[in-house]
Amino acid sequence: MERKTRGLHHITAITSDASSAVSFYTRVLGLRLVKKTVNFDEPSAYHLYFGDEKGSPGTLLTFFDWGKAIGFGQVGAGVTHHFAFTTRDEGSLANWKTWLEQNDVSVLGPFDRGSFNSLYFRDPDGLILEIVTPGNGKDYSDASHSELTLQFGNRTPTGKALAPRVRGITVEMRLQGLHHVTALTHGSSQTREFFAGILNMELVKENQRESSGTAQQVFGL
C-alpha cells in the first residue's frame, strides 16, 4: 500500500465566540460557512466549517466553539503557531492589506519570504494568520525578520495600505486554500524523524538562526 501524504485536508482551531468567528471569516476573509454542526464529544459546543464555495479539501478551516471560559492559548512546543492562506498574486496581496486595515485589522507586512510574499494578522481570538502569494518552500527565507512571528503580540504594526480603497473582496483576491502551517518544536531531529520518516514528507529547506540558536525546517510533498 502506498504511504504518501498528499497535502492538507483541513485545519481545526478553537474559538471563544462562534458569532465573532462567523463574522470575521465570512465577512472579512470571504470564506463560506459550509457547515455548522456540534462537537460530537461535547454536543453543547458548535463545530463550524469554513471553506470555498464547494467545501473542497485543502480549503477547510474548522472551529470548535468552547466559549469565553476556555481562556487564551499559550505559545510553546507542540503548538501550531500560525497557518497561511494563498491569494492569487502580489496585487491581490496589496488589496488584502488595504481591505484588512479598512476593517480595523492590524497587519504586518508585506514581507519577502524568498519564494512568496506574505502578510500577518490576527483573528478575533488572537490566532495568527498569514496570507501569501503562490510559491514553494525550497527558496523560503525569513532572514529579514527571523523572529517576527514570535514577537507579534500586541505591538502596533507599521506601514500604510499599499492599494487604494477596496470596496470588497474581488474574485482576484479570493483565498485559494491552505498554503502552510507553522508549528513549534523542542527538537529538530525528532521533528525530522516524524515528518520525513513516518509521514514520508520531504525536508525541502533547513535554516539555522545563529543569533537565537534556533533552527527552522520546511517540509513539503
Domain assignment present for residue 100? The answer is yes
Domain assignment present for residue 200? The answer is yes
Please count the other Cβ atoms lying within 10 Å of the Cβ belonging to residue 5: 14
| 186 or 62, higher pLDDT | 62
Domain assignment present for residue 134? The answer is yes
Tell me the CB-side half-sphere exposure of residue 110, using CA atoms within 13 A: 23
The model's pLDDT over 87-110, given as tens digits with 9 standing for 90+, comes to 999 999 999 999 999 999 999 999
Domain assignment present for residue 113? The answer is yes
Domain assignment present for residue 2? The answer is no
pLDDT at 71 over 90: no
Domain assignment present for residue 199? The answer is yes
**Cell numbers at 90, concatenated:** 502580489
Domain assignment present for residue 5? The answer is no
Domain span at residue 24?
A: 10-220
Q: Please give the tally of structural domains in the chain.
A: 1
The model's pLDDT over 124-138, given as tens digits with 9 standing for 90+, comes to 999 999 999 998 766
Question: Is residue 115 within 8 Å of residue 148, measured between CB atoms?
Answer: no
Question: Is residue 15 within 8 Å of residue 125, measured between CB atoms?
Answer: yes
Three-state DSSP at 129 gives strand
Q: What is the mean pLDDT of the chain?
A: 85
Residue 109: which CATH number?
3.10.180.10
pLDDT recorded at residue 160: 53
Q: Confidence band (pLDDT; 50, 70, 90) for 68?
A: confident
d(CA 157, CA 107): 6
153: CB partners within 8 A, 6+ apart: none
H or E element that contains 120: strand 117-122
Closest C-alpha among 86, 93, 208 to residue 141: 208
